Amino acid sequence: MTTMRFMSITGFILLAGVAALLLASRLPDGALSHLRQHPVGIVIHHTATPPAVNGRPVDVAFIDRLHAQRGFVVTSAAGTEYHIGYHYLILQDGTVQHGRPEHLRGAHTRGHADTLGIALVGNFERRDNRGRSGPLAPPPAQVHALAQLTSRLMVKYRLTSDDVHLHCDLGATACPGDGFPRAAFYQALAVPDALARRSNDHTP
């Protein structure tokens, strides 16, 4: 435990490339709220909030209420309503929470509803945070969980690292913040990236 606690973020998350590879079947076609094919990419966000607001943790239930106030809603084939625009939310201790199901269109990045949205709880834009809204960078456990989840989804949907984007790369926003370890995160995706490229090369 002591050794792990003092590992650099880069060394800590490089383990994720091998630890979380998972193959899965195709998703069914559905209505307009459903993706017409499998997701074409993954977009990484931060919530731009502290880990807790007024003593209440920022978790899936919190974000669902917040997005409901903004008018976000999608209904599954079973009639379940989801307001949260992300497909996954990762707490600062590395806990991964499910948002809207993967087969439902996202509401997290304008013009990219056909991508999966993953949000890290926290505000990692250092100019805005200034130490008042929790850590200035995602803790190692949170980044490790992100790398594991992203690796699994890349292999599941045959996505390469070119299909994994930070929100700021797709729009006029600082999200997920300048404290996000971009280089180390993409380095951790090397193994699933190679597997996805090899699989795509052999797809008829």
CATH of the domain at 126: 3.40.80.10
Q: Pick the residue with more confidence: 92 or 20?
A: 92
Largest CA distance in the chain: 54
> Within a domain: residue 14?
no
- 110-157 residue pLDDT tens: 999 999 999 999 999 999 998 889 999 999 999 999 999 999 999 999
Contacts for 185 with CB less than 8 Å, ≥ 6 apart: 13, 44, 143, 146, 147
Q: Is residue 55 part of a domain?
A: yes
pLDDT tier, 34 (very low <50, low <70, confident <90, very high otherwise): low
In a domain, 3, yes or no: no
Using the Cα atoms of residue 82, residue 88, residue 89 and residue 93 in order, give the sign of their dihedral: positive
Residues of the domain holding 48? 30-197
131 assigned to some structural domain: yes
Interatomic CA distance for residues 165 and 118, integer angstroms: 10
**Domain assignment present for 54:** yes
User: What whole-number percentage of the chain has pLDDT above 70?
Assistant: 81
Please indicate, yes or no, if residue 139 is contained in any of the structural domains: yes
Alpha helical stretches, state H, the chain: 2-5, 9-13, 16-19, 60-69, 126-129, 140-157, 182-187, 190-201
Question: Is 13 inside a domain boundary?
Answer: no
Please check whether residue 118 lies inside any domain of the structure.
yes
Condensed to tens digits (0 to 9), the pLDDT of residues 79-122 reads: 999 999 999 999 999 999 999 999 999 999 999 999 999 999 99
Domain count for the chain, please give it.
1
End-to-end CA distance of the chain: 46
